[in-house]
Amino acid sequence: MNDVEQRIRAAADETRRLAQKRLPRELVVERGQIRPRGWPAFAAAFAVVVVTFGLIPWLAGIGGNEPIGDTSPLTAPTDNSTVDAPTGGCSSDGVPLPAAVDGLPHEVLVTRETIADAASDCDLARLGSLGERLRTSFGGGGVENLAIWEDQGEGQLGTLLGLLDMSYGTMPLEGGGAIYIWPAAATYESWDEIPEHELAELTAIYTEGELDQLAGLTSYAGWRTGIDHEGNWLYFLAGD
């Protein structure tokens, strides 16, 4: 088994383990009713964190960005609001704010707008105040990874803004409520189910070559982010 296969298998095993702990065993996916809108491709450094709960899986290396670290657990700071802003430029520089959307619950809408504003301003302290439950890698770690990636020139705040400008999907939870997920492409069980207009949205953050690599993984395993119905920012990550 080559190195890539080993990393894919390890990431998949970790995802299943975390899903058993944190999410109901049976979730029914519904699509959001947002009209697709184009989002101009931005020329920002492609890379900021994996919130499928692992420190930058190998997918973050697509397009030339190599993983910044391994998938070993990280210890998150007890006070995310103390995370410092990067000293140099920010990956969100020049990336427009996401357009307004309809149909989101008030709590989700407020969190989405706050995340977008803070990411656009590269305000990591404000993102930290929202991300007490945030996971940014399979192995562990939260908002502190956003600062690490920015400082290492692999920031993903621009990617986060791009995601929030795409269509969303929902993942209902047993007992009521749901997780609102950007992009909607992340809510389909297979790559072939993703509608053309939602695939087209992904070109805001991926090249055609990168999308071809993602398509080879069966279902969408690229960057995505999720907010639950109570407005809790749960994850921002990539990987399968």
List the domain boundaries for the chain.
Answer: 3-237
The strands making up 178-182's β-sheet, listed across from edge to edge, are 30-31, 169-172, 178-182, 224-228, 233-237
35, amino acid identity: R
Token code pair at residue 206: 């991926």
Please state the pTM of the whole predicted model.
0.67
Contact of 224 with 238, CB cutoff 8 Å = yes
pLDDT tens digits, one per residue of 138-171: 888 899 999 999 999 999 999 999 999 999 999 9
The predicted structure's pLDDT at residue 75:
32
In the Cβ-directed half-sphere of 225, how many Cα atoms lie within 13 Å?
30
* pLDDT over threshold 70, residue 50: no
pLDDT tens digits, one per residue of 86-106: 455 899 999 999 999 999 999
**Higher pLDDT among residues 74 and 31, named by residue:** 31
